[in-house]
Structure 1
């Protein structure tokens, strides 16, 4: 096998050459799935500020009815907020059971409003000022802390390529689970690659990588399903669309229930500049598909759901006013979701303000009142009992804001 063919095959495959530890996850171990919505979803449609008359004024075409009993009205969560009706059968039941919470006015202080710059900035999880290590993502640092000493938390990025958030000093496996049965490397090539590394420094990692790939394939074959989803937009960076997320979520649930304690997946297609829709339409469809997938993940986790936390974020929100194309443009503050059997949910948490024209950031966006590193740091510290020193390694210079969600 020629070197060029080898490199091409490796680039096209989902083989996790740098494998994390392999083990069967104990049922009592905390599990964390991190879901990144690439493209900047419209948080003001997900969590509608029902107490704001300003909302209806600036969203004449894409606004959702803030009250009412029909299926197109928001689902009231409290006196200030309501949930998009597309999530009535998936996320709302979790909220009603106290297994879902939302953090509005969340995000980063990065003001670039660029998909790629903001995604990179968030995935690094490092201070905006000063020197940054461009190869150290915050989930890699979290995994490093969790695997110190005698601890062992198997970590997997359920993506075709290792995202920035999972890159760093710890070797972490990645395997896309949408086309796992169609590996670019067959059995003969696998043996050739293994022989190439025999007796070399990477021999163990290569062997473990093939083991991970084969385990994932075997488990996915048992589900007897196919995923033919293709990417929709550049801003999504190879993340699958919501259309394919339901199947992928079940596959991830099966793997995390049996084996992995820390996982990452990204979902693309959230850049809604044109014809976004309101209670129905393009965005509503995406919400429904995403919600159905997350509910399917919860179902697939079985009893392990009781110790699981799912965090859903996006790089930024969108403009509060609709634009001339009945869509929304790149914004600032957004809404984070926190789901799981381990979550103290059924509430809207974090610092909040009334949604009025005078409270908008730069007269256009939700402000960021709950900075993401502090918010996630507080959650991680509570989940894993991190010491101040350990938290500082994950998010340097941050004092975690404990919102009491776990």
Structure 2
């Protein structure tokens, strides 16, 4: 085969991947060849991951706090005292009396979650999900090359992850779960390995409601993107106007034409497959469809994260239904909430404060959990949180700054919840595992969390896990134990 033919074939393959966002398998047969006559009402063995990304660096140590008096006193001192708008406006600690109704227990001690994460009406808050065993907390997690002590941190800079405290760099490391450059994310690479059982290969197993991201990019998988309000059609092609009809007719003529150039021919085919996929999904998401906007009884709050997670729940319902021509058994979703880079106004009681952000997170996750219950998918879906990094314990006068070790949450019916995983750190400033302002050296790595989730999705080969997560052999285990088998 000539070099020109090989290049042409590679070009067409990549063009198909990029436009359809469905990977190399978009060259498989058209939708009308996919059978919908399966006996089950939902796809058997379905599993999905939902990544909830907190952009900007969540102040995780006001999400999870020690409650026992001795450790609370250390927390309060390191956070520059209890916040009081009049007498201590620079303090970042939450008064212990406000934490009393938010207490949670673990074998390692007594803790509390932020007061704003309480139940809201019929929607369960984070504390309720934790006490019911549906939410696990990963304490002091972060980007790592290998386990590292404070002495090693100070003496051997090469053992530190690259570009610590940089938003873009640390977000990228969370997305790729490695400390060397890569164009692929760990979610996309997991999807590469588990997507073969999905019936409709035209739709990517990676679906983003939160925009473009590295996390969902694999070798043969690219994220399919839609907004929280649904799919966007071609501008000027809808309606009953004469102009719209003329445009539709002209486009159809282009699609019906025969082309000599293989580039034109494949572009036409890719475009047609994209239209087919749009028409299919839109029929399920539109009013009257099986996943219409009013399909759930639970009332999702009308805000960004809740709206994104509602669309995820609708897509999960649509994708599992054996009467609909998607029928995926493995999917990975991505949603995103910004506003966490709180150098200022961290303790504000207004809509720009941390308490409001955590309330939105709690309500969105609680509503999502309830919606999953309505469709019988709570044990088949696992949601987890990631963020650039945590923030300093000590104040900058009005907020907190970039730090390192953080807290991640994992929610689902298959989660071994009601527990903390990883060591809760000594919160003394410049203590055994912290730097001068309370930047914690992580005790568990992103790689370990991601590998545990990948195993639940079906990637159990040590070779495959070590390929996706090349630093994984540096850690004592590739399974943190927070997922049921």
Say if 1:186 and 1:224 are closer, same or farther in 2 by CA, change over 3 A. farther
The one of 331, 344, 350 aligned to 2:403 = 331
Question: Are 2:170 and 1:118 aligned?
Answer: yes
Question: Which residue does the alignment assign to 1:77?
Answer: 104
The one of 258, 274, 277 aligned to 2:344 = 274
> Over residues 220-250 of structure 1, what are the superposed CA-to-partner deviations in whole Å (9 max), with x where a residue is unaligned?
433458xxxxxxxxxxxxxxx9931112211
The one of 204, 210, 213 aligned to 2:278 = 213
Say if 1:48 and 1:160 are closer, same or farther in 2 by CA, change over 3 A. closer
Question: Which residue does the alignment assign to 1:346?
Answer: 418
Say if 1:162 and 1:92 are closer, same or farther in 2 by CA, change over 3 A. same
Question: Are 2:479 and 1:402 aligned?
Answer: yes
Q: Following superposition of structure 1 onto structure 2, how do residues 48-127 of structure 1 map, counting pairs within 5 Å?
A: 48-50=65-67, 51-59=71-79, 60=81, 61=83, 62-66=92-96, 68=97, 73=100, 75-78=102-105, 79-89=109-119, 90-109=125-144, 110=161, 111-127=163-179
Structure 2: unaligned runs, 5 residues or longer: 1-17, 37-41, 84-91, 120-124, 145-160, 238-246, 295-300, 320-327
Structure 1: unaligned runs, 5 residues or longer: 1-14, 226-240
Q: What TM-score results when the alignment is normalised by the length of structure 1?
A: 0.80
CA distance in structure 1 between the aligned counterparts of 2:420 and 2:344, rounded to whole angstroms: 29
Question: Which residue does the alignment assign to 1:285?
Answer: 356
The alpha-carbon deviation at position 314 of structure 1 amounts to: 0.5
Question: Are 2:268 and 1:265 aligned?
Answer: no
The alpha-carbon deviation at position 112 of structure 1 amounts to: 2.6
Answer whether contact 1:242 1:269 (CA < 8 A) is retained.
no
Question: Which residue does the alignment assign to 2:222?
Answer: 172
CA distance in structure 1 between the aligned counterparts of 2:21 and 2:56, rounded to whole angstroms: 28
Question: Which residue does the alignment assign to 2:366?
Answer: 295
Say if 1:396 and 1:210 are closer, same or farther in 2 by CA, change over 3 A. farther
Say if 1:274 and 1:393 are closer, same or farther in 2 by CA, change over 3 A. same
Answer whether contact 2:428 2:434 (CA < 8 A) is retained.
no
The alpha-carbon deviation at position 92 of structure 1 amounts to: 1.8
The alpha-carbon deviation at position 308 of structure 1 amounts to: 1.3
- SS of residue matched to 2:76: helix
Say if 1:248 and 1:147 are closer, same or farther in 2 by CA, change over 3 A. closer
Aligned residues: 368
- SS of residue matched to 2:306: helix
- SS of residue matched to 1:147: helix
Answer whether contact 1:40 1:270 (CA < 8 A) is retained.
yes
> Over residues 105-146 of structure 1, what are the superposed CA-to-partner deviations in whole Å (9 max), with x where a residue is unaligned?
001133431111111222222333xxx33x211111111111
The alpha-carbon deviation at position 162 of structure 1 amounts to: 3.0
CA distance in structure 2 between the aligned counterparts of 1:384 and 1:348, rounded to whole angstroms: 24
Question: Are 2:338 and 1:245 aligned?
Answer: no
> Over residues 323-343 of structure 1, what are the superposed CA-to-partner deviations in whole Å (9 max), with x where a residue is unaligned?
112x11111111011000111
- SS of residue matched to 1:52: helix
Answer whether contact 1:39 1:270 (CA < 8 A) is retained.
yes
Question: Are 2:463 and 1:389 aligned?
Answer: yes
Answer whether contact 1:157 1:175 (CA < 8 A) is retained.
yes
Q: Following superposition of structure 1 onto structure 2, how do residues 12-51 of structure 1 map, counting pairs within 5 Å?
A: 17-19=20-22, 26-50=43-67, 51=71
The alpha-carbon deviation at position 177 of structure 1 amounts to: 2.2
Give the greater-gyration-radius structure (CA).
2
> Over residues 183-212 of structure 1, what are the superposed CA-to-partner deviations in whole Å (9 max), with x where a residue is unaligned?
454534775885699763355543343333
Question: Which residue does the alignment assign to 1:229?
Answer: none
> Over residues 332-370 of structure 1, what are the superposed CA-to-partner deviations in whole Å (9 max), with x where a residue is unaligned?
111011000111101111234332221353222122111
- SS of residue matched to 1:294: helix
Answer whether contact 2:313 2:371 (CA < 8 A) is retained.
yes
Question: Are 2:214 and 1:136 aligned?
Answer: no
Answer whether contact 1:49 1:355 (CA < 8 A) is retained.
no
Moved more, 31-40 or 21-30: 21-30
Answer whether contact 1:318 1:328 (CA < 8 A) is retained.
yes
Answer whether contact 1:103 1:337 (CA < 8 A) is retained.
yes
Answer whether contact 1:98 1:344 (CA < 8 A) is retained.
yes
Answer whether contact 1:45 1:278 (CA < 8 A) is retained.
no
CA distance in structure 1 between the aligned counterparts of 2:433 and 2:348, rounded to whole angstroms: 21
CA RMSD of aligned residues (A): 3.1
Answer whether contact 1:33 1:311 (CA < 8 A) is retained.
yes
CA distance in structure 2 between the aligned counterparts of 1:330 and 1:112, rounded to whole angstroms: 9
